[in-house]
Structure 1
Amino acid sequence: MNKKKIMLVDGMALLFRAFYATAMSNYFMINSKGVPTNGVYGLVKHLFTAVHRFEPTHVICCWDMGSYTFRNALYADYKANRGAPPDELVPQFDLAKEVVEALDIPNVGVEGYEADDCIGTLTDLYSKDHEVMILSGDQDLLQLLKPNVSVLLLKKGYGNYAEYTESRFIEEKGITPLQMIDVKALMGDSSDNYPGVRGIGEKTAIKLIKAYHSIEGILEHLDALPPGQQKKIKENLDMLHLSRDLAAIHCQTEVACSLDNAVYSINEEKMAATFQDLEFKNWRNNLVLQPKVNTK
């Protein structure tokens, strides 16, 4: 079997990053039909730039499917701190998927799960025999690092990445990627709005996991901890276990995508028609100058 290079794209992460990069200056690229396109334009640029740099043989784009997931069923306040998306972003959710489809890149997602869960499931499926590259700006995906898997975290601008392998993560953090789940269970996540153990921050959480390896290890040696830490953990024990369930990427979703449908090979005529219809300005120079575009 020929080893393939599969890029799994966190579509929502790219769309949000691209949208807010120009929305802060009120530049929404509204076309003659009244449709804002700044987020979609930037998503395509992020995508093509990464494809040119890392040269995957296959590309799949994963999406959240609505705001309600199984994590909301576990904890009603999960992500409850997030406001409604800006009006200019709302029409770009569906539009982004339409543009990705026009590039002959599969869109995948599962109701009740986040894009992270789809990425985790496909990573487990493909990494047994192939190289998997995860493109996102979400550090939660670092827990998926293992042999044959890398995570490409977007940094400011285009073409700038923090490239993580399992070995780099361990060297930098001093813990394994899977132990990151227990660290987040302890420290919580203000972005996703779950508290973990109140009063325990990242530094203390990492120190505890380094010393005791897991939540179970900490609980087995609870009496060895300083009284203040013992008290915090005992008072937040239920939330500690719940936070770990919320932090862990669920890698057993029902998402599926045949690699035969994910070969990166763009139909240039269809792409051109789509970009012109959306009135993307200077797209030939700004979007597709770098990527290798193959006509089917």
Structure 2
Amino acid sequence: MAKHIQLIDGNSIAHANHNGSVLTMGGPSGMQVQAIFGFLRSLKAMLEKDPGEPVVLWDGKAQWRLDIFPEYKGNRTQRDPKQEAHHKAFKKQTPIIEKAVALLGVKQMRSPLLEADDLARHLVTAIVAANKLKAPADRTRITLVSGDKDWLQLVQEDVEWFDPIRDRRVTSANFFEFTGYMTPAEFVEGKCLQGDSSDNIPGIYKLGETTAQQLLARWKSIERFFAEVDAGTYTPATRKSKTATSKHPEELLASPEGRVLFRRNVQLMDMKHCRKPEQGEMIIQAAPGSREGFLELCGRLSFASMLREQGMFLRHFPNCK
């Protein structure tokens, strides 16, 4: 029977649930627990709808990206008092999410020097390589569980992306319909052109999604665009208006500065370039679960509905005994 592995972006799913309706323990002034409650509900709903072997991946600090671009994620520390309080409330919940997941007997993985998407890329690469040696009926199917669209670049045969919060699923069959790009390679280059404001990565000035899609639809790769410009077989578009205050995005991209910025973004954003984990670096939690421990935790967190529905809830976690 074919195996199904679900690689779960722990921080993405936890954050999405934390940003929902506030849920507190022990009254309105108690500790916020919506990230914990929502994460566990999302995990159960996912396994109920599409059973598989879940593996939760957690972020470490991607120092290798900071070495390339020291301002990477530099905007994450710029919070007003309300945002800071929201962030602190989330951080208090993450250790409890990890504990709850461990009590359910679900495997967790992290590296102190890699982010969850880096881990996903290495795991997907290994599994897909093994699949090529198997008959189609015996291949492992992979579901990437994340609201982060960066993970879409890993979609391929036997690999799909699923956002459980918004109930969106992307496979090779509907990739263009969802992203506007024909292939994951074109998709990630489009992202590199635009940059990523959430990670403080600037893109080519005034080059938005529509222009990025048009460029990749025509050239298939930006390096081919550069090659045609250098060969003199293509001239980058220019602004038609004499009063324009900035250059056309194609001119900016073709400039020496534009090329450096794009190629740096490829190093940061294209998972093919992510740092490989060294031997012994991976931290894997795969201890047997504990039904008694999980129910005790639910009691302390005042998760009455999980206690009432414990039979229906825990049947999706065979390692929780």
Class of the TM-score when normalised by the shorter of the 2 chains: 0.7 to 0.9
More helix by share: 2
Post-superposition CA distance 1:200-238 (Å, at most 9, x none): 111111111111111211111233331323421114221
1:245 aligns to 2:267 (yes or no): yes
Give the Cα–Cα distance (whole angstroms) in 1 for the partners of residues 88 and 150 of structure 2: 27
Query: What does residue 113 of structure 1 align with?
Result: 114
1:30 positional shift: 2.9
Query: What does residue 207 of structure 1 align with?
Result: 214
Kept in 2, the 8 Å contact 1:49–1:290? The answer is no
Give the number of aligned pairs: 282
Query: What does residue 178 of structure 1 align with?
Result: 185
Q: TM-score, normalised by structure 2?
A: 0.79
1:95 aligns to 2:109 (yes or no): no
Post-superposition CA distance 1:33-59 (Å, at most 9, x none): 954322111111111111111111x11
1:81 positional shift: 1.5
1:280 positional shift: 1.8
In 2 relative to 1, CA 286–191 (structure 1 residues): closer, same or farther, beyond 3 Å? Answer: farther
Task: Report the 3-state secondary structure (helix = DSSP H, G, I; strand = E; otherwise coil) of the residue aligned with 1:224.
Answer: coil
1:148 to 158, 161, 176: 158
1:37 aligns to 2:33 (yes or no): yes
Structure 1 residues 169-178 or 232-241, which shifts more? 169-178
Structure 1 residues 71-80 or 278-287, which shifts more? 278-287
> 1:255-270 alignment to 2 at 5 Å?
261=286, 267-270=290-293
Gaps of 5+ in 2: 78-83, 132-139, 239-247
Query: What does residue 231 of structure 1 align with?
Result: 251
2:172 to 166, 176, 179: 166
Give the Cα–Cα distance (whole angstroms) in 2 for the partners of residues 151 and 267 of structure 1: 30
**Identity score, percent:** 22
Q: TM-score, normalised by structure 1?
A: 0.85
1:64 aligns to 2:95 (yes or no): no
Higher-Rg member (1/2): 2
In 2 relative to 1, CA 286–39 (structure 1 residues): closer, same or farther, beyond 3 Å? Answer: farther
Post-superposition CA distance 1:112-160 (Å, at most 9, x none): 211111111112222333111111111110000011101102344xxxx
Kept in 1, the 8 Å contact 2:111–2:282? The answer is no
The CA RMSD measured in Å over matched residues stands at 2.7
Gaps of 5+ in 1: none
Q: Which runs of 4+ in 1 moved over 6 A?
A: none
Post-superposition CA distance 1:215-268 (Å, at most 9, x none): 211111233331323421114221111111111123733576889x59xx9653
1:269 positional shift: 3.1
